Each structure stands twice: as C-alpha cells, then as structure tokens.
Chain A
Amino acid sequence: MRRLMIAAAALALGLIGAAEARAAESAGPLPSVDFPHIGVFGQYDKAALKRGLQVYREVCSSCHGLHYVAFRTLSALGMSEAEIKEVAASFKVTDGPDAEGEMFERDGRPSDRIPSPFKNDNAARAANNGAMPPDLSLVTKGRNGHEGYIYAILTGYQDPPEGFTLGDGMSYNAYFPGHQIAMPQPLSDGQVTYADGTEATVATMSHDVTTFLAWAAEPELEERKATGLKVLIFIGVLTAILYAINVRVWSRVT
C-alpha cells in the first residue's frame, strides 16, 4: 500500500512539474518571475491584488474591459460593499432602452460586469490604430506562458534593434510575437501612487496587475486548491482502507 501511495504522489508531483515546465517553456525565454499563487498550495497575494486593481483602474481600464468579472466579486479582494459600490460607480455602463427608446449611460452597479471603455469592437479599433485591445478577463489563461508572459509583455518595451522598422504608431516589445505591438507602453515608473505606500516601479506595477489579472481569470483558484487538498486526503485515506480490506479478503484465496 505504501508503495502505491508513494507512486501516486510521485505521479502527481511529476505531472505538476511537467505542467509548470510547459507553462514556462511555451512562449520562448521569458524573464523568470515568481507568483505566490502558482504552485500546489499557492494562494493570491492579497495586497498585490488590491494594488493590481488600482493599476487596472487607473491605467488599463482606459482601453481594456473585464467582461467576465462582476464588480460584486471584488469582495474576494477584501473590499467592503461600500468600497465596491464606489468602484462600480466610477465606471460608465450603457443601459436601456429607456421609455423613449433611447440607450443611456449610467453609473455602474455591483451587479454589472467591468465594461470596456469602447462602444463596440470597431470603436475600439478606431481608437487604437486599427488594433483591438482584447478583453483581459481570461488573458492569463489564454496565452502561452500565462502570468509570466503577461508580465514579460508589460516590462518588455525596448528601443527597436538596429534596422528594425516599426509600423506607424507601433512599439517594439521583446516578448510580443513579431515584436510589433499596437499597445503603447502602458506603464512608467511612478505612474500610480499606491495607497499602501509601495514604490510604483514598472516591475512592481506589472507584477501587481498581472496578479490581479490572474485572479480575474481564475477567481476560484483559492477555493479550488483548498477543496482539492481535503478531497485528496479523504480519497487517499479511503483508498488506503479499501486496499487493506482488499488484501485481507484476498488472503483467504488459495
């Protein structure tokens, strides 16, 4: 039985290792960054989540929406109902049609989802040099390299190498496929003033907003891992008992 449990545990660890190796290798050589929520028991860094939300609100939200994230779910970041109401109200949401048949804008409510600042995709393209700023709700889940890649994009703005011709309004990014990105460098040192006094370097802001986007993509992560641990202990013990019964029953057979 013990051999079996060890084999199962080894298998599990091997698989997790393989998954992380795969996540790291897939988008080429990304800078190595650690996120506390990655790994078997990892949980989100709550302070980083709050700072990340601040970066998102003050910088990214002028181009990107979070279509799948409802304001009410920000309670997971430790925000009170009043704070959530205030955050929601700082966004404009299109509603309607009203009694006259017109669409109108109103302040956001906790039940709304974090809207895109643009009326539609074409408006978003028109405002961004023809490129579409994607919705960010699933961006850490939907890109090879995951968190590491997002962090790399945000910190990867550089001067183009000798002889590299950039298109009009494009920027050079070391990690974006093809190196030409339509998103102008969004972050520069000191761009936000963190409420908790943390120094707002590009690296910190990128790390924080990436943590926030990881939460936006996988809000269930903490509950998932905590439940998983209990379930595995339960199944593990049950299986061990079943194995013992199995051995006992079979010892009668000659």
Chain B
Amino acid sequence: MSTPVPRNKVAQWIEYRLPIFSWANHNLIDFPEPKNLNYWWNFGSLAGIILVIQIITGIVLAMHYTPHVDHAFDSVERIMRDVEWGWLIRYIHMNGASMFFAVVYIHIFRGMYYGSYKSPREILWWLGIILLFLIMGTAFMGYVLPWGQMSFWAATVITNLVSAIPWIGETLRDWLWGGFSVDNPTLNRFFSLHYLLPFVIVGVVILHIWALHHRRSNNPLGIDVKSAKDTIPFHPYYTVRDLFGLGAMLFVLFVFVFFVPNMLGETINYVKADPLQTPPHIVPEWYFLPYYAILRAIPDKLGGVVAMVASIAILFILPWLDTSKVRSARFRPIYKQLFWVFVADCFVLGWVGANPPEGSFVWIGQICTIYYFAHFLIILPILGKLERPRPLPDSIHEAVLKKRGGAPAVQPAATMEKH
C-alpha cells in the first residue's frame, strides 16, 4: 500500500501544513474493513454517490427553473425542450430521487437484517434515521416544484396534515403556507428549502461516516473484528467492489432515464396545477406509499399523522426494542423468517397506499399497520428472550476460511466444506 508520507515535493509541502494525504490514506486506502462484507454493503456508498448526482443535476436545473406559480410549469417544460440536454438532466434528477430511496431502503433493511443498529452503532443508526427524514422532506418539496396537478394537490394534502395538531395546528399550517392556501409563497419557500436541505444531508452524512469509521463496519456474521487477520484494507478491495456496484446501479438508473423516464411518476403531473380542479386520485410517489397507507389506516386524522411519523421514529428505539444479544440474522433462525415477513408487510402497505381506501384495502391496510408496529413493539422484545441463537463462529477469519474451502493451519482437512 502507499506510504503515509507522500514522496512528491508539493504534496509534502501541503501535507506538512494540512495532513490531507495521510487523512485520505487512513480513511480511504488503508482503512481496515472486515474481509467478509457482502454486496449488501455496497448500498451505503451508492447512497452517497446518488446524493452527489442529485446535487449536481439539481444545481443545473436551478439555473433554468423559475419558482413562480405562473412560470414554474413552463420553465420545466422549457428545460425539457430548449435547454441543451435539459431533458437528460431533468430525467436523471427525477429518477435519481427514486433510485435514492430504493438504495436507502435496501441500506436500512440491510442494517435490520445484520443487526447493524446494535451497540456500539446506535448513534450511527440514529444519524441514518435523521438522514431518512431529511431525504423525505427534500423529495417531497422537490416534487412540488414543477407545479403540476399532483405537485399542487400532494402539497395541499400533506401540508394540511399539520392542521391536525391540536390548538396550534391551523395557525402552523397557514404559517407553513405563507398564506391561506398552497400558493406562490409556498412554492418559493419549498424551492429555497429544497436547495438547502441536500447540503444539510451532506453534513449529516459526514457525521454518519465519522461514526462509522470510529466504530467500524458491522459484517454479515455480526461478530466483532478480533485481529488484523479479520480485516483487509479498503483499497483496492472495497474500492473496486464499490466501483462495480456503481456501474450496476447506473445501468439500472439509465434504463429508467432513457427508456421509461415517466414510469414511476404520475401522468397527471404533466397537467399544470389547477387549484379549482381536484384530481380523482391523489397519490404520493411510490416511496411514500407505505406511510400513506399507515396514515389512512387510522380513522382519526391526528391519530393517522402520529402513526405515520411514529412508523419511522420507532426506528430510533429499535436498538433497545430488539433484546437479542446476537446481531446477525444468520444466527437467529426465527428472526430471519420474521425479517422477511416484515419486508413483505412493508410491500403490502405500499400496495395498499397506491389504491383508493375502499373495500378490502381498508382492513388489509389496518392489519398491516398493526403488524408493522407489533413487529417492533411486541415481536422483537419477546423474540430476543425466547429465541435460541445458533453458535457464533470464533472469528471472521476462521469463518471465511471455512466457507472458501481453504485449509487453515489449525484445522484438520476432514472438516473442510466443499464450496
């Protein structure tokens, strides 16, 4: 690996004054990672790259966008037609938002499966949840900017939820709107915040990675790193793997961008916002559908809002609700099954959220909402006490050797497993 002190004279001059070379070396080159990470560990770096893609495309879009109710829709259409490659920039930003959620959701489920939220990574986990809230806020406000029918009506429905808060709700909502309905002041402040929040996200990502590098990555076995034999340097092993992951993600993103750019969006958002004409179905983007289902599962407006916020906020106390001492689901036979039931529950909630709240969708949504909370509040606390985990391996090194079929000096050849 490269030496901590650079050989180049200019680099030495800089290093003496600001040690960026040894810093980069420590964090990006020699940084020891568990050697058994699987591809689910790619999604953190993918989220970071998407964030950069969103910021770059967003800044270019902002150069051509006009945040005014009379011009916003037209300016977006002008980007699509008159700005060189404007359609490409816009379609990347639009589908990039969906990609961001897909990647972050996988990232979170990865954390749940391998118990990455458990000690000593609770603060790392909290920072992740804060990131999720920030990304959701950013995406919601971004969706309002093109000022199509769904932009306007989604903004109206969601901001109206604030009015459910007792006593101050309506005042708060009007303050948020900057008037008595979603109108030009609302669009202006949403634009301002949509530009600001991604940089707040960058700040929280830095904290997130700081915490990660302090207590290091978890791994699929969920056991601690015990010796240098358990680790390998970040470069080249995880740099090439992350680059490969990036290529694969871009491939998927570009399939959407170039061939079905509007598949994930609502058709009616290509009709300019009309405050006098309510669309027949008001639905949020796919990544909000499970929360929308939870919101509507509770017959009371305030109760629905509380449940919706709680469905994410409950993740803050997940490290204490899960009473099992074992991190990885690999060694928790029952949790492993229930994890997938939980994932399925989230998908069903999404499907319910996409449909009008009639007929069987009502009770399916309610049952799935109850199960969602029961998973955290009942199943996990009890399961940790009842379940008998399978024996953990002694070290990462040993487990890796066993799986690869290599012969460790200490192990007799007879116990080798064919891979």
Contacts and interface: CB of A to CB of B under 8 A. Distances in A.
Asked whether A and B interact, the reply is yes
A211 B241 CA distance: 45
Interface stretch (A28-36, A137-145, A189-197, A199-207): A137-145
B330 to A, nearest CB: 20
24 contacts: A12-B255, A15-B255, A15-B256, A15-B260, A16-B260, A26-B267, A40-B259, A68-B74, A68-B78, A138-B270, A138-B271, A142-B271, A219-B81, A227-B88, A228-B255, A231-B258, A232-B255, A232-B258, A239-B251, A242-B243, A246-B241, A253-B400, A254-B400, A254-B406
Interface string B249-276: 0111011111111110001111100000
Nearest to A177: B280
Contact of A254 (B241, B247, B257, B404): B404
Contact of A144 (B78, B81, B256, B267): B267
Given A219-B81, A224-B258, A231-B258, A242 B267 contact: no
Contacts of A254: 400-401, 404, 406
Find the residue from A11, A22, A143, A243 having the highest chain B CB count within 10 A.
A243
B232 A253 contact: yes
Interface of A: 4, 8, 11-12, 15-16, 18-19, 22, 26, 40, 68, 70, 73, 137-138, 141-144, 146, 217, 219-220, 224-225, 227-229, 231-232, 235-236, 238-239, 242-243, 245-246, 249-250, 253-254
B258 A227 contact: yes
Q: Is the interface of A mostly helix, strand, loop or mixed?
A: helix
Contacts of A19: 260, 263
Find the residue from A146, A224, A235, A236 having the highest chain B CB count within 10 A.
A235
A142 B247 CA distance: 33
Interface string B71-107: 0001001101100000110010000000000000000
A22 B255 CA distance: 17
B263 to A, nearest CB: 4
Interface in B203-224: none
B252 A8 contact: yes
B248 A239 contact: yes
Contact of B254 (A15, A22, A232): A232
A246 B244 contact: yes
B240 interface: yes
Interface range on chain B: under 10, 10 to 19, 20 to 34, or 35 or more? 35 or more
A10 B51 CA distance: 27
A8 B258 CA distance: 15
B248 A8 contact: yes
Given A16-B259, A68-B81, A250 B270 contact: no
**Interchain residue pairs A-B with the least CB separation, the first 7:** A228-B258, A239-B247, A142-B270, A19-B263, A242-B244, A141-B270, A12-B255
Contact of B247 (A146, A225, A242): A242
B180 interface: no
B35 interface: yes
A220 B254 contact: no
Given A73-B81, A220-B87, A227-B258, A11 B252 contact: yes
B236 interface: yes
B399 to A, nearest CB: 13
Contacts of B250: 235, 239
Given A220-B80, A232-B258, A250-B237, 8 more contacts: A4-B248, A16-B259, A142-B269, A220-B81, A224-B258, A242-B247, A246-B244, A253-B232
Nearest to A13: B255
Nearest to B271: A142
B220 to A, nearest CB: 15
A16 B257 CA distance: 12
Contacts of A40: 259
A238 B247 contact: yes
